[in-house]
């Protein structure tokens, strides 16, 4: 279903909730990633591991599984309920950059945990290698996503960011789109 066919002007509450849940879970993964490496080494190389390493290593697996599930549910929600239309006043390149960035983000937040789970279930170092190699592209795309959201709000003066951040007011005039 397209955004225009749905008549949707904002994101569903579920989509907003899952967006911020994924953000928090990715931050948690980034903070405690070394514990997963410790757990991986203990399992694959027979090294000793303490209780903290064991608990935080398994937390990484659980959080990654939740990220994968949340991304899939968000995509389903987008398919069923549509998405808000892109701001008509923006240059067309902004829509294409947004689509490419979101495609990359969704791809990584689905493939990365899937590779991690595959590595865990099979003990395959190659899966683990590619799982960890996706951190840099994920961080680059997340940074681009954040910059785009801030540009939408402060430069283009659209309500795009306000639709995703509960309680944020829409920007007032004076932006680039008012200069035309």
Closest CA to 159 of 148, 145, 173, 169: 169
Closest CA to 157 of 174, 145, 141, 169: 174
Assess whether pLDDT exceeds 60 at residue 1: no
Question: How far is residue 98's CA from residue 144's CA, in Å, rounded to a whole number?
Answer: 9
> What is the model's pLDDT at position 152?
95
- Give this prediction's pTM: 0.89
Please state the domain count of the chain: 1
Q: Which domain holds residue 40?
A: 3-178
> What is the model's pLDDT at position 85?
93
Helix axis angle for 92-122 and 125-133, nearest 10°, is 150
pLDDT band per the 50, 70, 90 thresholds, residue 170: confident
Instruction: Decide if 3 contacts 11 (C-beta within 8 A).
Output: no
What is the torsional sign of CA 67, 78, 151, 108? positive
pLDDT band per the 50, 70, 90 thresholds, residue 33: very high
Question: How far is residue 60's CA from residue 82's CA, in Å, rounded to a whole number?
Answer: 31
The fraction of the chain above a pLDDT of 90, given in percent, is 86
The fraction of the chain above a pLDDT of 70, given in percent, is 92
> What is the model's pLDDT at position 160?
93
* Token output for 69: 């599930």
**Pick the residue with more confidence: 92 or 180?**
92
Assess whether pLDDT exceeds 70 at residue 136: yes
Helix axis angle for 13-45 and 51-81, nearest 10°, is 150
pLDDT band per the 50, 70, 90 thresholds, residue 173: low
Question: How far is residue 41's CA from residue 135's CA, in Å, rounded to a whole number?
Answer: 19
pLDDT band per the 50, 70, 90 thresholds, residue 6: low
CA 15 to chain centre: 12
> What is the model's pLDDT at position 171?
85
pLDDT band per the 50, 70, 90 thresholds, residue 178: very low
Closest CA to 179 of 89, 119, 94, 110: 89
Assess whether pLDDT exceeds 50 at residue 107: yes
Instruction: Decide if 81 contacts 32 (C-beta within 8 A).
Output: no
Helix axis angle for 13-45 and 135-154, nearest 10°, is 160
């Amino acid at each position: 279903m397209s955004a225009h066919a749905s008549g949707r002007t904002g994101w569903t509450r579920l989509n907003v909730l899952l967006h911020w849940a994924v953000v928090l879970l990715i931050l948690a993964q980034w903070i405690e990633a070394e514990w997963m490496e410790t757990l991986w080494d203990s399992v694959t190389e027979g090294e000793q591991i303490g209780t903290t390493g064991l608990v935080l290593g398994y937390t990484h697996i659980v959080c990654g599984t939740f990220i994968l599930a949340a991304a899939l549910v968000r995509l389903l929600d987008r398919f069923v309920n549509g998405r808000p239309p892109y701001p008509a006043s923006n240059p067309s390149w902004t829509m294409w950059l947004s689509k490419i960035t979101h495609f990359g983000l969704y791809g990584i937040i689905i493939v990365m945990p899937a590779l991690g789970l595959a590595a865990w279930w099979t003990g395959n170092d190659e899966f683990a290698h590619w799982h960890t190699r996706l951190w840099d592209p994920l961080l680059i795309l997340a940074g681009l996503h954040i910059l785009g959201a801030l540009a939408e709000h402060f430069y283009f003066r659209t309500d795009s960011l306000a639709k995703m951040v509960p309680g944020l007011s829409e920007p007032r005039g004076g932006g680039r789109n008012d200069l035309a």
